[in-house]
Structure 1
């Protein structure tokens, strides 16, 4: 009578390594989340805020008084400055209406932090020169997005749900075929992209981007997030999932430019924001919603690149995994035949 097979008992070191890795990963993610979000909120300072200014004298005075806080573009007249503001090339346009007054026409849709910083800088410079300031918001936020935060909430929701799906499918790799996992992530990207666009657009009226372009941006965001998470998990295991949390839901959303304007972020955060999916998605949604999509294509390219790269890495990993398995029968078959003979 044969004895029943018994499963090997894991050593105490193996058990300790398993839970210690989870604890350390959780601590790293939690501390990084707090450090990045709270750190960026501490003392944001404007860096090269783009402002259009009419006239050489006013341009020189503003550039001298504000230094690197602003990036002055001299324009021929107020109309040219308004056009630049509506295209998203400037936060506002400043021109003199009389010897004792200036007018600042700004884009509130650039975000409370950026437009607020620009208004404060202009007001300070005008007060120093003894001038009064007349303000007007020529690109206001959508009626149902009074704080300008809808974009970050929608982007965060799409990113998080796509990450959770990819994480779950990575854990179920032994039970679900690769092509079905890929179909699930692709189908989910379309569903969440259109679903989020319907809720935030036509239903709530919180995002002003045209529906097809809003849905496209959010679909690409979901695909970028899910396939990037899947690729990191496939190549790096649990560490890859932790890295996806740090890149997408922590650093990516904190530096997206929605809560702290892009031009108020430190240099490292600006560099990161430009290449991570959440930042690209926030810019695409706002560009299409308020600035005629003048710079949105580059953001869509970033999202598409993350999706394509993630898909490519997943397929490459599967190819490398399957290659030895397909080669093994060709070697083993002659041995079996010989034994049978």
Structure 2
């Protein structure tokens, strides 16, 4: 290959790699370099003057905490069980009680406890703290759901890319598309099984809900694998850049990492609600600690799977049919 042609061929991929690297640095440093809590939700019951007054006093000092009002204590506790709030503040005859769910995010509950403890001391009101959903002692910072999700996403999309490189980015017919979809399902299940065994019997981090964890991990890895296969079916190798952009550059910091979404700057706060890594971390955390909250991220990941299969089928129909020779 002539030198000039080699330079022209290599310049494009290197430029894309440069852009991804710069975006990776900007996204991770920009999102995580100085996490500050904003509008961390705390439940209070409507008409609970002691709790509402303390939250109003805290809010007047800054936007760190946000009071979410419920009609009764049962509704507030239900929201705590569904990971809709991080804590519930309530007044009583002996002072205030703060019920937290540290499994939802130890960083968030530490901030809530610290701010409300200081505020209660200033108001001269005793504050009792109870952890209703404690994080597992083997994972005191609550990072395992995030890192497990990262591993499943990376392993999943590498499976989709590897199969595309080995067999071609576009299946030639519907039967081959079905085989590819099935092979990626098997890959996702094996990857999830390995992850479940590592965090379960292997390291002894979690001992409960392991079958649900296996199912959640399979769904997450499958969504990442199908998305990679779908993107490459239309964009071929250049699609790898889009996969990395959405699943790594934006997806990982957008999921919050070791920080709750309320600690991230504006653009990244909502990414976890639709991007695969964030949904995966939410789903894994839910099946272990908040089973009532698992449905929403599971449905969204299933939509990613279904949409990716449709895109892959469309590519097969449009690009995979053998063309008749020109006569």
1:141 CA displacement: 0.9
Match in the other structure for 1:298: 296
What pairs up with 1:173-252 in 2 under 5 angstroms? 173-174=167-168, 178-179=176-177, 180-207=179-206, 210-252=209-251
What pairs up with 1:142-181 in 2 under 5 angstroms? 142-174=136-168, 178-179=176-177, 180-181=179-180
Decide whether the 8 Å contact of 1:283 with 1:299 is kept in 2: yes
TM-score, normalised to structure 2, is 0.86
Q: 1:106 to 1:208 in 2, by over 3 A?
A: farther
**Structure with larger Rg:** 1
Q: 1:43 to 1:120 in 2, by over 3 A?
A: farther
Q: Please list every run of 5 or more consecutive structure 2 residues that lacks an aligned counterpart in the other structure.
A: none
How many aligned residue pairs are there?
Answer: 318
Q: Please list every run of 5 or more consecutive structure 1 residues that lacks an aligned counterpart in the other structure.
A: 1-9, 333-341
Decide whether the 8 Å contact of 2:101 with 2:131 is kept in 1: yes
Distance (Å, rounded) in 2 between the aligned partners of 1:150 and 1:207: 10
1:276 CA displacement: 0.8
Q: 1:253 to 1:122 in 2, by over 3 A?
A: same
Distance (Å, rounded) in 1 between the aligned partners of 2:210 and 2:65: 34
What pairs up with 1:40-55 in 2 under 5 angstroms? 40-54=31-45, 55=48
Superposed CA deviations along residues 150-193 of structure 1, whole A, max 9, x for unmatched, are 11111111111122222222222349974444333121011112
Whether 1:28 and 2:23 are equivalent positions in the alignment is no
Distance (Å, rounded) in 1 between the aligned partners of 2:107 and 2:239: 34
Distance (Å, rounded) in 2 between the aligned partners of 1:228 and 1:264: 28
RMSD over aligned CA atoms reads 2.7
What pairs up with 1:291-330 in 2 under 5 angstroms? 291=290, 293-323=291-321, 325-326=322-323, 328=324
Greater RCO, CA 8 A, separation 6+: 2
Decide whether the 8 Å contact of 2:227 with 2:305 is kept in 1: yes
Match in the other structure for 2:278: 279
Whether 1:62 and 2:81 are equivalent positions in the alignment is no
Superposed CA deviations along residues 276-316 of structure 1, whole A, max 9, x for unmatched, are 1111111111112112x222111011111111211221221
Q: Report the 3-state secondary structure (helix = DSSP H, G, I; strand = E; otherwise coil) of the residue aligned with 1:72.
A: strand
Q: 1:319 to 1:74 in 2, by over 3 A?
A: closer
Decide whether the 8 Å contact of 2:102 with 2:133 is kept in 1: yes
